[in-house]
Structure 1
Amino acid sequence: MNTENIVRHLRVLWRTDRIIADIRLRHLLMGLGLRAFAALIAAFGLLMLELSAYFALVQIWSAIAAAAILGAVNFLIAGVLFVIAGRPPSGRDIELANEIHDASIEALQLEARALQAQVSGAVHHPLSTVAPVLVPLIAIIVKNLRKTAKETAASSEAPA
């Protein structure tokens, strides 16, 4: 268990989440723009169909057929734009970002399991976790006691 690994995995997770959100946002904005354009064309198509109905009442053939055909073509274009806007985002970018995201989640889970094992080992065997710290600490204490013993012996011999 290493805190540096946890921080690194969290940074990778954060970055991949940002990339995934960016990809989805770009796709959403592009789809929204195409849908808005398709809606505009559909409104124009509806206007042309209404215009053709008007011309049907005023004149019988030439202007009616032209406006009806133009309205139908506008609806067809709007339908094609809606289909294009509804496509899922590009596969490579989102797949790669999802793979990195999943890998960082797995690495964080492994680090959490290692931390859990370390904590449970410390609870069950407290001396095994304290021993690596105690041995150097005992050596330092013994060294300091020897120094003070020599210093007190030297100071007591000096006046005599």
Structure 2
Amino acid sequence: MNTENVVNHLRILWRTDKVIADIRLRHLLASLGMRALAALIAVFGLMMFELAAYFWLVQIWSAITAAVILGAVDVAIAAILFALASRSPSGRELELANDIHGASIEALQLEARAFQSQVTGVMSHPLDAALPHLMVPLISIIVKSLRRHTSDSSTSHT
């Protein structure tokens, strides 16, 4: 496990999360602003149309029937506007940020698995981890003892 890789992946993950949140916030604000502007324009426009339609309908039907018809038309128009405002195409920026986010998560998971395998390997076989470091001193001790043993045995034979 390389700590530089982990830190790098965490930094990328943090940055992509910031980008994703920024994109979503901008989209939310733009959508909210568009909805508010659409509602304001619709209110003023509908007031004028309703005034004209009311005067026209009063000549044909009663005042109550004219008001009910205009109210139903207003509700239908408002529903159409909110349906249009709620449709949001996902942009390429958001898709790219989500892809980078996913890749960063996968890389962090790989690093965590590598670290876990190292830890379990050391914990299950501690001598396996220490053996390569102990080989050189052990070999030199064995060689020195063999030399002493051969030198002691050669001096005793003469």
Q: For 1:44 and 1:25, locate their aligned partners in 2 and report how far apart those are by CA, in whole Å.
A: 29
User: RCO (CA 8 Å, sep 6+): is it higher in 1 or 2?
Assistant: 2
TM-score by length of structure 2 reads 0.64
Unaligned runs of 5+ in 1: 61-71, 143-160
- Supply the AA of the counterpart residue of 1:88: P
Question: 1:19 corresponds to which residue?
Answer: 19
Deviations 1:90-143 (A, max 9, x none): 1x111111110010000000001001100100111112223455578x69xx9x
Question: 1:4 corresponds to which residue?
Answer: 4
* Residues 122, 128 of structure 1: 8 Å contact kept: yes
Decide whether aligned partners of structure 1 residues 6 and 106 sit closer, same or farther in structure 2, where only a CA change above 3 A counts: same
| Number of corresponding residues | 125
Question: 2:64 corresponds to which residue?
Answer: none
Q: Sequence identity, in percent?
A: 60
| Aligned 1:76-95 pairs, distance under 5 A | 79=80, 83=84, 86-90=87-91, 92-95=92-95
Question: 1:146 corresponds to which residue?
Answer: none
Q: For 2:13 and 2:5, locate their aligned partners in 1 and report how far apart those are by CA, in whole Å.
A: 12
C-alpha RMSD over aligned residues: 3.4
Unaligned runs of 5+ in 2: 60-72, 142-158
TM-score by length of structure 1 reads 0.63
| Aligned 1:70-81 pairs, distance under 5 A | 79=80
Q: For 1:41 and 1:98, locate their aligned partners in 2 and report how far apart those are by CA, in whole Å.
A: 36
